[in-house]
Amino acid sequence: MVEIIKYRDTNKEELLERSISYVDVSADVAAIIDEVKRDGDAALFRLCRLYDKADLSSLEVTGEEIDAAINSISPELLAVIREAAENIRNFHEKQRRQGFIIAENNGIVTGQRIIPLERVGLYVPGGTAAYPSTVLMDAIPAKIAGVGELIMTTPPRPDGTITPAVLAAAKIAGVDRIFKIGGAQAVAALAYGTESVPRVDKIVGPGNAYVAEAKQQVSAFTSIDMIAGPSEIVIVADNSCNPAFAAADLLSQAEHDKNAAAILITDSEELAVSVKTELERQLALLPRADIARESLRANGRIIITKDICEAVDLANVIAPEHLELCVASPFDWLPKVKNAGSVFLGMYCPEAVGDYFAGANHTLPTCGTARFSSPLSVDDFVKKSQYTYYSREALLSSADKITLFAEAEGLTAHAESVRVRFRKDDITPETIK
């Protein structure tokens, strides 16, 4: 199932290769987007019947539906959702940006303003599965940023309803409007607007291949957060790690998707063998064993390095979505981690803690993009604008320098826009240098 590999004895390129089954859906998605742009709500109703098997009379979720959903779930689950929301809120409150102003005594003022986006669309996968955690993780940072209106779309079940926990999470997180729309058609509706769905400035949230492709296709018109690939985890572990813990954490990602990647990197051959044995034992107990087994077969690795330093170096090359440091002194190794979406420290911090409860965001860069990308944050829901003020005296003192720079670039009109402010005579071709 999972091969044990010695790092130094293996071709590095082959070691890092990832097998991802890919179906080109670009043409289908383009057709769906065109249909929504052309027919608006009518297309959304039609596509909902086709793909979600739901015959809707209205696209928008009502307040009565939301209240009924909240009343239908257990008090225990509702309390957990509220507590998770509070943890997420506390974490992301620390990310608030402040603008700045530089006011000099010579008549110059410069500054930067932080401006929330006016309207954001949140896509939440649904249908046969339910992801209230995604609602919390994506909506709460948006509301903290000050987004004016947060629009959520999620696919309905065949009976036209939305999973109650998803609606409860939306209410708790402060979502303003919710629509029963899924797939590429939801992305198209958010990007271009319909009779019912308002056009947004940015679309965030994960989805299947159709959703990812749709986000890509509309990204020239509407901002998006990221194109999320299959999930992945890397565990760096030493001989203090319990093999049952490591195996369980690898399987927690493997069960996501047949394209998911689960990799253990260790300096202990004994641990490597024990984890492989544990994987076989625990796999047989999983309801989603077929998915997890295929994931491990295609993208599972157990890699033995000479020491933990080499293990961390390799993790940085992989740049995983999730990185667990299951070592005796995890905080000693944290400064050496350069590329990872989210890092989990110690033996009692499985990645699932971050998925649901701790507060750090679980919308993360995948497929090596942690080399240059960051987790979803409050920053994703604001834009920055800058301003400059010069008094007459301040411009005069810098005029020669500005005109010199402009003329060096051959932009005479730029230079003249400075000179004209201090010329007493009329502008003629002779006065323009």
Question: What residues are labeled active site?
Answer: 321-322
Record the tokens describing residue 177, joined without a space.
Answer: 């409007």
**Rounded to the nearest 10 degrees, how much is the dihedral formed by the CA atoms of 333, 334, 338, 339?**
110
Widest distance between CA atoms in the chain: 90
Residue closest to 346 by CA, chosen among 354, 138, 338, 300: 354
Q: Work out the angle at residue 278's Cα, subtended by the Cα atoms of residues 273 and 282, and round it to the nearest 5 degrees.
A: 160
- What DSSP element (H or E) covers 218? helix 209-218
**Sheet hosting strand 300-304, strand order edge to edge:** 4-6, 300-304, 261-266, 232-237, 322-326, 342-345
- β pairing state of 4-6 and 300-304: parallel
Write out the DSSP string of 331-360.
Answer: HHHGGG--S-SEEEESTT--HHHHHHTSSS
Beta strand 119-123 pairing with 202-204: parallel
Identify the CA nearest to 384 among candidates 63, 33, 97, 86.
97
Distance, in Å, from the CA atom of 299 to the CA atom of 263, rounded to the nearest integer, reads 8
Burial status of residue 300 (CB atoms within 10 A of its CB: 0-12, 13-18, 19 or more): buried
The gap between the terminal CA atoms of the chain, to the nearest Å, is 76
DSSP assignment letter at 221: T
**DSSP string of 137-198?**
HHHHHHHHHT-SEEEEE-PPPTTS---HHHHHHHHHHT--EEE---HHHHHHHHHH--SSSP
CA-closest candidate to residue 142, choices 80, 223, 33, 60: 223
Distance CA 50, CA 157 (A): 12
